[in-house]
């Protein structure tokens, strides 16, 4: 019964999104957009609300989400919950960016904006990702051992935060109301489907395809928490992503960076697997074992150096312009 309700809600939310998508394909600015521009952006701003909504929008910014994702991973006691947590946020970010490229709706006029933003407007990435991220936190809270009163309190606060993030994007003049509402629908609908798939995978036999992906994810998480070099790679990757957003690198440059991320991290995971296997079958020191480990580590180093060179080719000209 619960699953049917969640599927029905998701279907309804996706249907609302499709209605908005059709409407903006027919006209650039909807009536609901003009209403919020007139009553919120033009006539509703105060110094207090400007400070408040700039703070709220941070909770779904790139820096904010990275910070809260790291904190969430640190606070999670159950290791098996960490991979779905990362998959949920990663999936919704990718989904939102693909939709922006597909629709290519321009943002509201510059004269309405209180903060600088680049990229396309529909759907609102902050609203979509924020709704998904904090809705999934609500799901985890209700799975935990807190008292019902605490669960209700936290759920209420997170729900208000989701609404606040969305409203902040309208107030700050960087999104239309239809962008935000569509983002809410997609973010919550996506998360409901994700939760259904997650819970379904937990009930399937160990040899199922979904379970295989689960074990692969556990390997990635273990490599991150146990290997120092993996943490360095992820840290550098995070810096590159933030630099890419700051400098507004092109789609081709993003594709190059993403491919390099995958190659280097995959090589590091393979290096870890090789080292672990050698330690298992040959616990004593042996020249050939050392040679094999050195070769594996060397391959990662070569890929890392090549990635650094390509990264410098992409970002150095952009840094040079700033200087």
What is d(CA 208, CA 204) in angstroms, rounded to the nearest whole number?
7
Catalytic residue among 39, 175, 233, 248: 175
Please confirm, yes or no, whether 233 is among the known catalytic residues: no
Query: 147-169 burial, b if ≥16 CB within 10 A, otherwise e?
Result: eeeebeebbeebeebbbbbbbbb
Active site residue 126: yes
Report d(CA 305, CA 225) in Å as an integer.
23
Asked if 60 and 133 touch (Cβ cutoff 8 Å), the reply is: yes
Using alpha carbons, list the distances in angstroms from residue 136 to 45, 141, 267.
Answer: 31, 9, 31
- Largest Cα separation within the chain, whole Å, is 76
In 27-124, where does DSSP find H-type helix?
31-36, 47-58, 62-75, 82-103
For residue 178 the two structure tokens come to: 């239809």
Candidate list 126, 214, 233, 286, residue with the active-site label: 126
Give the Cα separation of 34 and 29 in Å (integer): 7
Residue 30 burial class via C-beta count within 10 angstroms: exposed 0-12, middle 13-18, buried 19 and up: middle
The residues annotated as belonging to the active site are 126, 175
């Amino acid at each position: 019964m619960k699953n049917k309700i969640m599927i029905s809600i998701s279907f309804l939310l996706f249907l609302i999104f499709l209605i908005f998508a059709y409407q903006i394909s027919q006209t650039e600015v909807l009536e609901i957009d003009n209403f919020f521009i007139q009553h919120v952006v033009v006539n509703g701003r105060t110094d207090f609300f400007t400070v408040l909504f700039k703070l709220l929008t941070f909770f779904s910014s790139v820096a904010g989400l990275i910070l809260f994702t790291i904190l969430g991973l640190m606070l999670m006691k159950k290791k098996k919950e960490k991979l779905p947590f990362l998959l949920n946020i990663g999936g919704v970010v990718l989904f939102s960016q693909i939709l922006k490229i597909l629709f290519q709706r321009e943002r509201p006029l510059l004269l309405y904006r209180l903060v600088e933003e680049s990229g396309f407007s529909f759907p609102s990435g902050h609203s979509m990702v924020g709704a998904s991220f904090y809705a999934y936190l609500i799901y985890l809270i209700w799975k935990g051992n807190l008292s019902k009163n605490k669960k209700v309190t936290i759920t209420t606060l997170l729900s208000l935060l989701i609404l606040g993030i969305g409203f902040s994007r309208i107030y700050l003049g960087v999104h239309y109301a239809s962008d935000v509402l569509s983002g809410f629908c997609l973010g919550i609908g996506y998360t409901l489907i994700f939760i259904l798939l997650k819970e379904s995978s937990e009930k399937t036999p160990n040899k199922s395809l979904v379970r295989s992906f689960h074990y692969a994810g556990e390997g990635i998480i273990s490599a991150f928490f146990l290997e120092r070099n993996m943490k360095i790679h992820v840290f550098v990757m995070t810096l590159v992503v933030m630099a890419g957003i700051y400098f507004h690198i092109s789609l081709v440059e993003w594709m190059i960076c993403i491919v390099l991320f995958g190659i280097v991290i995959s090589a590091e995971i393979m290096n870890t697997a090789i080292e672990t296997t050698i330690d298992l079958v040959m616990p004593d020191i042996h020249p050939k074992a050392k040679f094999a480990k050195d070769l594996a580590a060397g391959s990662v180093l070569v890929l890392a150096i090549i990635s650094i060179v390509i990264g410098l080719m992409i970002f150095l000209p952009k840094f040079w312009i700033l200087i």
